[in-house]
Amino acid sequence: MAKKIRVLIAKPGLDGHDRGAKVIARALRDAGMEVIYTGLRQTPEMIAAAALQEDVNAVGLSILSGAHMTLVPRVLDLLKANGQGNVIVFVGGIIPAPDVEKLKKTGVRAVFGPGTATAEVVAALREASA
Amino acid sequence: MESTAERIRGGDRLALARLITDIENDQGDYQKVLDDLYPHSGKAHIIGITGPPGSGKSTLVNCLARQFKRIKSDTSKIGIIAVDPSSPFSGGALLGDRVRMNYHATDADIFIRSMASRGALGGIALATDNVAIAMDAAGYDPLLIETVGAGQSEVEIASLAHTTIVVEAPGLGDDVQAAKAGLLEIADILVVNKADKPTADTTAASLARMLSLGEELKGKHPGTHWEVPLVKTSAVDCEGIAALVEHIQSHHDYLQDSGEWAKSDQQRMRKQVNHLLRETLFVSWQEHYDHKAYNDLMVQVLQHQISPHQAAQLLLHGE
């Protein structure tokens, strides 16, 4: 059985806009990946626990609430604390340009804003997991 | 340095998660780890949950885990394996069962693993057996295994689980559907979920008739065997779950007392060993076979001079 890329798509925080997360989940599925989707309103603790039990290669965080500078570093810290510092973390949603650089400095691999082609996300993830 | 098996038994959840990945991918030295774990398995009550897509299996599993936690001791750990289908086209999968299980997301005593079916057609993945052994040895008991949304013939779970729960929902068919062979036959416990819907009673009634007719036709007498109970639940509010768990425990006791538990374990183990023998024999045959003879025979089969059966016989036994 060939190795599969396993990705957790999670929606941390309190906004209820899950269309983007679902589109990405579907695109990754169609690209042959195994995508775990956990639904709305996840805490960083819930996300880290799921990432561990599911032994994922990557975690995609979809945030449209503006709370990314609080939530994303917390997820990264928890992953590291659990021995999963090697997991690729990418972020999607409404992220202001100055924050994109800050997030990348904390360890986020890529940030995908509105209008990103799904093929771009797939290619970036494949490259990062290679 | 502790071995991987020791770490898994000691509660290292990341080690368990990584072993499951290796089992699924058939990579690394997972077989050795499973060999070490195997003597510690065989304790868990394996409970299969199957039924059509959308009947509420994941929601029900969420409620079951909650109820088991409530009635079992503080030290008990519950394992959940949730299987969803892989795409026959891309090989990818969307594993969405955790959406209904968020209640347990951060519970350190509950381990939830989503599995893609990866082409297997029986409702579970090929690797599910081995994943169950690993979680069993890690101390998870009960082990709840949710199949892919099953239609009529995805009955593989019955040979893996001690107790098989078939979850039906109102509005999915009449009493002819209920009489058909397959999925309903494997139920040790039959659940009509979504009991809050107005047509739930009609569904329950036609399933109850199906069950009692089955008993009559088989000439079974009350009290001499396991009679499949029909339980109504409304998993969205976790209603009817205490009764369901009581039935699960009665079935557990029935299996133990009647010797059926040992019998089903024996059947399962025999099947696994036979499966491995078949695979290993094929692989070892492949290492020694005559490539030229093989290719020549293939040409003859392609030209319809001999049948595939004759070709196989010739390869195994010669002229």
Quick: pLDDT tens for B255-297. Answer: 999 999 998 889 888 988 998 898 888 888 888 888 898 999 9
Distance from chain centroid for Cα B306: 41
Q: Does B138 touch chain A (CB under 8 A)?
A: no
* Contact flag A36-B98 (C-beta cutoff 8 Å): yes
Please name the helix (run of DSSP H) or strand (run of DSSP E) that holds residue B297, with its range, or none: helix B291-302
The two tokens of residue B209 are: 């008739």
**Which residues are CB-contacts of A17 (< 8 A; sequence separation ≥ 6)?**
A64
Map residue A17 onto helix, strand or coil: coil
Nearest CA in chain A to B79: A53
Nearest CA in chain A to B23: A1
- What number is the average pLDDT over the span B10-38? 96
DSSP secondary structure letters along B183-196: GGGG-SEEEE--TT
Residue B129 — φ and ψ, nearest 5°?
-55, -50
Nearest CA in chain A to B24: A1
What pLDDT score was predicted for residue A76? 98
Q: Are strands A88-93 and B230-232 parallel, antiparallel or unpaired?
A: unpaired
What pLDDT score was predicted for residue B232? 97
Which has the closest alpha carbon to B187: B239, B143, B231, B222? B231
Whether the predicted pLDDT of B119 surpasses 80: yes
The two tokens of residue B243 are: 């009764």
What pLDDT score was predicted for residue A55? 98
Residue B217 or residue A29, greater confidence = A29
* Contact flag B21-A55 (C-beta cutoff 8 Å): yes
- What number is the average pLDDT over the span B191-200? 94
Q: Does B106 touch chain A (CB under 8 A)?
A: yes
Report the side by side order of strands in the sheet with B189-192: B110-116, B77-84, B140-146, B46-50, B163-168, B189-192, B230-232
Map residue B76 onto helix, strand or coil: coil
- What number is the average pLDDT over the span B216-242? 87
**Which residues are CB-contacts of B1 (< 8 A; sequence separation ≥ 6)?**
none
Residue A72 or residue B211, greater confidence = A72
Amino acid at A91: V
What pLDDT score was predicted for residue B223? 67
Q: Does B112 touch chain A (CB under 8 A)?
A: yes
Mean pLDDT over each residue of chain B, to the nearest integer: 91
The two tokens of residue B157 are: 């779970």
What pLDDT score was predicted for residue B175? 73
Contact between B120 and B126 under an 8 Å Cβ cutoff? The reply is yes
What pLDDT score was predicted for residue B286? 85
Under the banding of pLDDT at 50, 70 and 90, the label for residue B151 is confident
The half-sphere exposure of B123 on its side-chain side, counting CA atoms within 13 A, is 27
What pLDDT score was predicted for residue B222? 66
Distance from chain centroid for Cα A62: 7
Residue A88 — φ and ψ, nearest 5°?
-75, 125
Q: How far is A21 from chain B (nearest CA, A)?
A: 12
Residue B75 or residue B8, greater confidence = B8
pLDDT tens readout for residues A33-90 = 999 999 999 999 999 999 999 999 999 999 999 999 999 999 999 999 999 999 999 9
pTM of the model: 0.90
Residues of chain B with C-beta less than 8 angstroms from the C-beta of A9: none
What pLDDT score was predicted for residue B319? 59
Q: How far is B92 from chain A (nearest CA, A)?
A: 4
Q: Are strands B77-84 and B140-146 parallel, antiparallel or unpaired?
A: parallel
Whether the predicted pLDDT of A1 surpasses 60: no
Amino acid at A77: D
**Which residues are CB-contacts of B281 (< 8 A; sequence separation ≥ 6)?**
none
What pLDDT score was predicted for residue B221? 67
Mutate to test the interface with B, among A33, A53, A118 (most CBs of B within 10 A): A53
Contact between B238 and B63 under an 8 Å Cβ cutoff? The reply is yes
Nearest CA in chain B to A49: B106
* Contact flag A83-B14 (C-beta cutoff 8 Å): yes
* Contact flag A34-B93 (C-beta cutoff 8 Å): yes
Mean pLDDT over each residue of chain A, to the nearest integer: 95
Q: What helix, strand, coil percent values describe chain A, rounded to 5?
A: 45, 20, 35
Residues of chain A with C-beta less than 8 angstroms from the C-beta of B105: 38, 42, 45-46, 49-50
Q: State the ipTM, two decimals.
A: 0.94
Residues of chain A with C-beta less than 8 angstroms from the C-beta of B93: 29, 34-35
